[in-house]
A and B are shown apart, each in its own frame.
Chain A
Amino acid sequence: MAGLVIEREVLIEAPAEAVWRIVTEPDQMSRWFADRVELVVEPGAHGYMHFGEAGGPVVVETVDPPTRFSFRWNYPLEEEPVLGNSMLVEFTLTPEGEERTRLRVTESGHELRDWPDAEKQRYAGEHQEGWGEFLDRLAGVPAVRQPG
Protein backbone atom coordinates (compact mmCIF):
# COMPACT_ATOMS: atom_id res chain seq x y z
CA MET A 1 0.00 0.00 0.00
CA ALA A 2 1.34 3.39 -0.91
CA GLY A 3 0.50 6.62 0.79
CA LEU A 4 2.49 9.30 2.48
CA VAL A 5 5.90 7.93 3.32
CA ILE A 6 8.62 9.78 5.15
CA GLU A 7 11.95 8.25 4.25
CA ARG A 8 15.33 9.23 5.62
CA GLU A 9 18.71 7.58 5.88
CA VAL A 10 22.12 8.02 7.40
CA LEU A 11 25.51 6.39 6.92
CA ILE A 12 27.06 5.23 10.18
CA GLU A 13 30.70 4.36 10.81
CA ALA A 14 29.95 1.22 12.80
CA PRO A 15 29.02 -2.41 12.03
CA ALA A 16 25.33 -3.29 11.70
CA GLU A 17 25.37 -5.16 15.04
CA ALA A 18 26.41 -2.00 16.87
CA VAL A 19 23.75 0.06 15.11
CA TRP A 20 21.16 -2.63 15.78
CA ARG A 21 21.69 -2.38 19.52
CA ILE A 22 21.18 1.38 19.51
CA VAL A 23 18.08 1.13 17.36
CA THR A 24 16.35 -1.70 19.21
CA GLU A 25 17.40 -1.82 22.85
CA PRO A 26 14.86 0.03 25.01
CA ASP A 27 17.57 1.68 27.15
CA GLN A 28 19.24 2.97 23.99
CA MET A 29 15.97 4.01 22.35
CA SER A 30 15.31 6.27 25.30
CA ARG A 31 18.44 8.19 24.30
CA TRP A 32 17.28 9.07 20.80
CA PHE A 33 13.56 8.44 20.48
CA ALA A 34 11.33 8.70 23.53
CA ASP A 35 12.07 9.81 27.09
CA ARG A 36 11.39 6.33 28.35
CA VAL A 37 10.73 3.16 26.39
CA GLU A 38 9.03 0.08 27.76
CA LEU A 39 9.41 -2.59 25.16
CA VAL A 40 10.23 -6.24 24.65
CA VAL A 41 11.86 -6.59 21.25
CA GLU A 42 9.81 -9.48 19.94
CA PRO A 43 7.30 -9.57 17.10
CA GLY A 44 3.83 -8.84 18.46
CA ALA A 45 5.08 -7.48 21.78
CA HIS A 46 3.23 -4.52 23.24
CA GLY A 47 5.09 -1.62 24.76
CA TYR A 48 4.84 2.03 25.63
CA MET A 49 6.78 5.16 24.73
CA HIS A 50 6.84 8.02 27.20
CA PHE A 51 7.31 11.58 25.98
CA GLY A 52 7.34 13.77 29.05
CA GLU A 53 3.88 13.60 30.57
CA ALA A 54 2.41 12.11 27.42
CA GLY A 55 3.01 8.86 25.63
CA GLY A 56 1.60 6.22 23.39
CA PRO A 57 1.40 2.47 22.98
CA VAL A 58 3.67 0.60 20.61
CA VAL A 59 3.41 -2.80 18.96
CA VAL A 60 6.50 -4.48 17.55
CA GLU A 61 6.02 -5.94 14.07
CA THR A 62 9.29 -7.19 12.60
CA VAL A 63 12.46 -8.20 14.42
CA ASP A 64 15.09 -9.57 12.07
CA PRO A 65 18.54 -8.84 13.54
CA PRO A 66 20.62 -7.08 12.48
CA THR A 67 18.79 -5.82 9.41
CA ARG A 68 15.09 -5.16 9.97
CA PHE A 69 13.09 -3.76 12.84
CA SER A 70 9.62 -2.25 12.68
CA PHE A 71 6.94 -1.11 15.05
CA ARG A 72 3.63 0.71 15.06
CA TRP A 73 2.98 3.62 17.34
CA ASN A 74 0.19 6.08 17.60
CA TYR A 75 1.35 8.86 19.84
CA PRO A 76 -0.46 10.80 21.14
CA LEU A 77 -3.45 8.49 20.96
CA GLU A 78 -3.97 5.85 23.60
CA GLU A 79 -5.62 3.34 21.31
CA GLU A 80 -4.09 0.00 20.43
CA PRO A 81 -1.91 0.65 17.36
CA VAL A 82 -3.29 -1.20 14.34
CA LEU A 83 -3.34 -0.47 10.63
CA GLY A 84 -5.33 2.70 10.19
CA ASN A 85 -4.85 4.51 13.48
CA SER A 86 -1.09 4.50 13.73
CA MET A 87 2.25 5.12 12.08
CA LEU A 88 4.43 2.23 10.95
CA VAL A 89 8.13 2.86 11.49
CA GLU A 90 10.51 0.54 9.65
CA PHE A 91 14.26 0.47 10.06
CA THR A 92 16.51 -1.19 7.53
CA LEU A 93 20.19 -1.70 8.26
CA THR A 94 22.43 -2.39 5.29
CA PRO A 95 26.09 -3.22 5.92
CA GLU A 96 28.48 -1.38 3.61
CA GLY A 97 31.76 -3.12 4.22
CA GLU A 98 32.63 -4.32 7.72
CA GLU A 99 32.68 -1.04 9.55
CA ARG A 100 29.86 0.87 7.95
CA THR A 101 26.09 0.64 8.00
CA ARG A 102 23.44 2.46 6.06
CA LEU A 103 20.44 3.02 8.31
CA ARG A 104 17.20 3.81 6.55
CA VAL A 105 13.92 4.65 8.23
CA THR A 106 10.48 4.98 6.72
CA GLU A 107 7.44 6.22 8.54
CA SER A 108 4.03 5.75 6.98
CA GLY A 109 0.40 5.90 7.96
CA HIS A 110 -0.05 9.53 8.92
CA GLU A 111 -2.78 10.03 6.35
CA LEU A 112 -4.73 6.93 7.39
CA ARG A 113 -5.46 8.05 10.90
CA ASP A 114 -9.08 8.83 11.51
CA TRP A 115 -10.33 7.68 8.15
CA PRO A 116 -13.64 5.90 7.87
CA ASP A 117 -13.03 2.17 7.39
CA ALA A 118 -14.64 2.05 3.98
CA GLU A 119 -12.35 4.79 2.76
CA LYS A 120 -9.30 2.90 4.09
CA GLN A 121 -10.31 -0.27 2.32
CA ARG A 122 -10.92 1.56 -0.92
CA TYR A 123 -7.57 3.24 -0.53
CA ALA A 124 -5.75 0.00 0.25
CA GLY A 125 -7.34 -1.76 -2.67
CA GLU A 126 -6.97 0.95 -5.28
CA HIS A 127 -3.67 2.52 -4.75
CA GLN A 128 -0.58 0.58 -5.53
CA GLU A 129 0.93 3.63 -7.12
CA GLY A 130 3.01 5.94 -5.01
CA TRP A 131 3.35 9.64 -4.85
CA GLY A 132 2.02 11.65 -7.71
CA GLU A 133 4.07 14.45 -9.09
CA PHE A 134 2.28 16.83 -6.82
CA LEU A 135 4.37 16.52 -3.70
CA ASP A 136 7.57 16.30 -5.69
CA ARG A 137 6.88 19.87 -6.66
CA LEU A 138 6.52 21.04 -3.12
CA ALA A 139 9.72 22.78 -2.29
CA GLY A 140 11.89 21.60 0.56
CA VAL A 141 10.44 18.16 0.99
CA PRO A 142 13.29 15.85 0.08
CA ALA A 143 11.88 13.32 2.52
CA VAL A 144 8.96 12.56 0.34
CA ARG A 145 9.59 10.09 -2.37
CA GLN A 146 7.95 7.39 -4.32
CA PRO A 147 7.88 4.20 -2.27
CA GLY A 148 9.60 1.38 -4.15
Chain B
Amino acid sequence: MTTQVDDELWSAIGDPSRRRVLDLLVSHGAVSASWLAGHVPFSRQAVSKHLVVLEEAGLVSRRKQGREVLYQVEADRLDQASRAMADLAAQWDRRLAAVKRLAEAAHAETQRKL
Protein backbone atom coordinates (compact mmCIF):
# COMPACT_ATOMS: atom_id res chain seq x y z
CA MET B 1 0.00 0.00 0.00
CA THR B 2 2.77 2.46 0.92
CA THR B 3 6.42 2.44 1.80
CA GLN B 4 6.59 0.31 4.89
CA VAL B 5 7.53 2.33 7.90
CA ASP B 6 8.03 0.75 11.24
CA ASP B 7 6.34 2.21 14.27
CA GLU B 8 9.74 2.98 15.71
CA LEU B 9 10.45 5.43 12.94
CA TRP B 10 7.05 7.13 13.21
CA SER B 11 7.41 7.43 16.97
CA ALA B 12 10.90 8.82 16.67
CA ILE B 13 9.94 11.61 14.30
CA GLY B 14 6.48 12.12 15.81
CA ASP B 15 7.86 13.95 18.80
CA PRO B 16 8.49 17.67 18.26
CA SER B 17 11.41 17.75 20.72
CA ARG B 18 13.13 14.98 18.84
CA ARG B 19 12.48 16.76 15.58
CA ARG B 20 14.19 19.76 17.09
CA VAL B 21 17.23 17.66 17.92
CA LEU B 22 17.20 16.20 14.40
CA ASP B 23 16.86 19.68 13.03
CA LEU B 24 20.03 20.80 14.75
CA LEU B 25 21.88 17.71 13.59
CA VAL B 26 20.75 18.29 10.02
CA SER B 27 21.92 21.89 10.04
CA HIS B 28 25.10 21.52 12.13
CA GLY B 29 26.48 18.10 11.23
CA ALA B 30 28.21 16.06 13.92
CA VAL B 31 27.87 17.61 17.36
CA SER B 32 28.05 16.48 20.97
CA ALA B 33 25.16 15.99 23.36
CA SER B 34 26.31 18.95 25.46
CA TRP B 35 26.40 21.19 22.41
CA LEU B 36 22.84 20.09 21.63
CA ALA B 37 21.75 20.75 25.20
CA GLY B 38 23.01 24.30 24.82
CA HIS B 39 20.77 24.84 21.81
CA VAL B 40 17.43 23.43 22.96
CA PRO B 41 15.03 24.58 25.68
CA PHE B 42 15.14 21.26 27.50
CA SER B 43 17.60 19.53 29.80
CA ARG B 44 20.77 17.65 28.96
CA GLN B 45 19.07 14.56 30.38
CA ALA B 46 16.16 14.99 27.97
CA VAL B 47 18.59 15.43 25.08
CA SER B 48 20.27 12.15 26.00
CA LYS B 49 16.92 10.36 26.12
CA HIS B 50 15.94 11.71 22.72
CA LEU B 51 19.29 10.69 21.27
CA VAL B 52 18.76 7.13 22.52
CA VAL B 53 15.35 6.95 20.80
CA LEU B 54 16.72 8.46 17.60
CA GLU B 55 19.65 6.08 17.63
CA GLU B 56 17.37 3.08 18.19
CA ALA B 57 15.24 4.18 15.25
CA GLY B 58 18.38 4.38 13.14
CA LEU B 59 17.99 8.11 12.49
CA VAL B 60 21.15 9.09 14.35
CA SER B 61 24.53 7.46 14.82
CA ARG B 62 27.43 8.28 17.10
CA ARG B 63 31.19 8.25 16.76
CA LYS B 64 34.04 9.02 19.07
CA GLN B 65 36.32 11.89 18.32
CA GLY B 66 39.07 12.20 20.87
CA ARG B 67 37.30 12.28 24.21
CA GLU B 68 34.04 13.46 22.75
CA VAL B 69 31.10 11.51 21.42
CA LEU B 70 29.58 13.14 18.36
CA TYR B 71 26.10 12.51 16.98
CA GLN B 72 25.11 12.76 13.35
CA VAL B 73 22.09 12.17 11.18
CA GLU B 74 21.71 8.99 9.15
CA ALA B 75 20.61 10.46 5.85
CA ASP B 76 19.24 7.23 4.34
CA ARG B 77 16.93 6.63 7.24
CA LEU B 78 15.78 10.24 7.18
CA ASP B 79 15.04 9.85 3.48
CA GLN B 80 12.99 6.79 4.29
CA ALA B 81 10.88 8.83 6.69
CA SER B 82 10.52 11.55 4.11
CA ARG B 83 9.48 9.10 1.41
CA ALA B 84 6.93 7.46 3.68
CA MET B 85 5.30 10.83 4.36
CA ALA B 86 5.32 11.64 0.65
CA ASP B 87 3.71 8.26 -0.11
CA LEU B 88 0.90 8.90 2.34
CA ALA B 89 0.36 12.32 0.81
CA ALA B 90 0.31 10.88 -2.72
CA GLN B 91 -2.20 8.26 -1.64
CA TRP B 92 -4.53 10.99 -0.35
CA ASP B 93 -4.01 12.98 -3.54
CA ARG B 94 -5.23 9.99 -5.52
CA ARG B 95 -8.26 9.59 -3.27
CA LEU B 96 -9.13 13.28 -3.45
CA ALA B 97 -8.75 13.23 -7.24
CA ALA B 98 -11.23 10.34 -7.35
CA VAL B 99 -13.68 12.21 -5.08
CA LYS B 100 -13.38 15.23 -7.36
CA ARG B 101 -14.06 13.17 -10.47
CA LEU B 102 -17.08 11.41 -8.87
CA ALA B 103 -18.57 14.58 -7.37
CA GLU B 104 -18.21 16.58 -10.57
CA ALA B 105 -19.76 13.76 -12.62
CA ALA B 106 -22.66 13.39 -10.18
CA HIS B 107 -23.21 17.14 -10.19
CA ALA B 108 -23.14 17.32 -13.97
CA GLU B 109 -25.68 14.50 -14.07
CA THR B 110 -28.02 16.41 -11.72
CA GLN B 111 -27.71 19.53 -13.85
CA ARG B 112 -28.68 17.58 -16.98
CA LYS B 113 -31.84 16.32 -15.31
CA LEU B 114 -32.99 19.81 -14.41
Contacts and interface: CB of A to CB of B under 8 A. Distances in A.
Given A22-B103, A131-B16, A8 B11 contact: no
A139 to B, nearest CB: 7
B92 A8 contact: yes
Contacts of A115: 7, 11
Contacts of B17: 126-127
A102 B80 CA distance: 31
B20 interface: yes
Contacts of B102: 22, 28, 31-32
Given A130-B16, A140-B86, A143-B92, A110 B10 contact: yes
Nearest to B9: A111
A78 B81 CA distance: 25
A63 interface: no
Given A11-B100, A21-B106, A138-B85, 13 more contacts: A3-B14, A3-B15, A6-B89, A10-B96, A14-B107, A15-B107, A31-B98, A103-B96, A110-B10, A110-B88, A132-B16, A139-B82, A141-B82
A49 interface: no
B39 interface: no
A127 B95 contact: no
Interface string B55-79: 0000000000000000000000010
Which interface class (under 10, 10 to 19, 20 to 34, 35 or more) fits B?
35 or more
B92 A107 contact: yes
Nearest to A9: B96
A42 B32 CA distance: 53
A134 B26 contact: yes
A116 to B, nearest CB: 10
B28 interface: no
B85 A141 contact: yes
Contacts of A139: 82
Contact of A32 (B5, B13, B99): B99
A12 B99 contact: yes
